[in-house]
């Protein structure tokens, strides 16, 4: 089988050796660094994959990413995820409202009452009582 080499520059090789020897990086970054060093030493993708306990495709993708991005391939790519609906400012307003006096006719704030008041005051378009509970729970 043809060996798939990665030719590291001296600077990159020293950076990877330093990263591996420090032991302060995440497990993913450590594995990626080891994989690049092993590929540079002439090991095949299959051998590196077996050594690290990852798939052949993972090492192949890492090799291709290194050729395109350099050592930036060690870091995880940004993942989009769900956008934040209720930002920190709104959370602070909800907490402040909960700490204020209850409206007339009520002895204290209830979660549904808080949720309705937050929408009424225009802090956000909609919020459920469970979201209000979560916001208040995270506050000391």
**Do 66 and 118 belong to one domain?**
no
Does residue 82 sit within a domain? Answer: no
Final residue before a domain boundary, out of 74, 109, 129: 74
Checking if the pLDDT of 139 tops 80, the result is no
Report the C-alpha gap between 50 and 46 in whole angstroms.
6
Domain enclosing residue 94, as ranges: 88-137
Q: How far is CA 25 from CA 22, 57, 74, in A?
A: 8, 23, 10
Does residue 55 sit within a domain? Answer: yes
Does residue 94 sit within a domain? Answer: yes
**Do 45 and 95 belong to one domain?**
no
Report the C-alpha gap between 21 and 4 in whole angstroms.
25
Structure confidence by residue, pLDDT tens digits, 96-119: 999 999 999 999 999 999 999 999
**Do 19 and 59 belong to one domain?**
yes
**Do 51 and 99 belong to one domain?**
no
> In this prediction, what percent of the chain has a pLDDT beyond 70?
96
* Residue 4: per-residue pLDDT: 55
C-beta of residue 45 within 8 angstroms of C-beta of residue 6 = no
**Burial class of residue 47 (count of CB atoms within 10 Å of its CB; 0-12, 13-18, 19+):** middle
What global pTM score does this model have? 0.59
Q: What is the mean pLDDT of residues 122-140?
A: 90
Q: Name which residue leads in pLDDT, 6 or 53.
A: 53
**Do 64 and 115 belong to one domain?**
no
**Do 70 and 14 belong to one domain?**
yes
Does residue 5 sit within a domain? Answer: no
**Do 20 and 42 belong to one domain?**
yes
**Do 46 and 98 belong to one domain?**
no
Q: For residue 139, what are its two tokens?
A: 């506050």
**Do 65 and 96 belong to one domain?**
no
Spell out the SS3 assignment of the chain. Answer: CCCCCCCCCHHHHHHHHHHHHHCCCCHHHHHHHHHHHHHHCCCCHHHHHHHHCCCHHHHHHHHHHHHHHHHHHHCCCCCCCCCCCCCHHHHHHHHHHHHCCCCCCCCCCCHHHHHHHHHHHCCCCCCCHHHHHHHHHCCC
**Do 62 and 99 belong to one domain?**
no
Q: How confident is the model at residue 2 (pLDDT cuts 50, 70, 90)?
A: low
**Do 64 and 96 belong to one domain?**
no
* Residue 133: per-residue pLDDT: 95
Does residue 81 sit within a domain? Answer: no
Structure confidence by residue, pLDDT tens digits, 15-68: 999 999 987 888 899 999 999 999 999 899 999 999 999 999 999 999 999 999
Does residue 79 sit within a domain? Answer: no
Query: How many domains, in total, are found in the chain?
Result: 2
């Amino acid at each position: 089988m043809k060996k798939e080499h990665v030719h590291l520059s001296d600077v990159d090789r020293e950076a990877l050796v330093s990263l591996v020897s420090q032991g302060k990086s995440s497990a993913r970054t450590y594995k990626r660094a080891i994989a690049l060093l092993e590929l540079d030493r002439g090991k095949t993708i299959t051998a590196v994959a077996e050594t690290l306990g990852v798939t052949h495709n993972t090492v192949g993708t890492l090799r291709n990413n290194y050729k395109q991005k350099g050592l930036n391939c060690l870091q995880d790519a940004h993942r989009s995820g769900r956008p934040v609906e209720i930002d920190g400012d709104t959370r602070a307003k909800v907490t402040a409202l909960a700490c204020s006096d209850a409206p007339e006719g009520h002895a204290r704030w209830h979660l549904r009452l808080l949720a309705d008041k937050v929408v009424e005051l225009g802090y956000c378009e909609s919020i459920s009582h469970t979201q209000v509970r979560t916001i208040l729970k995270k506050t000391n």
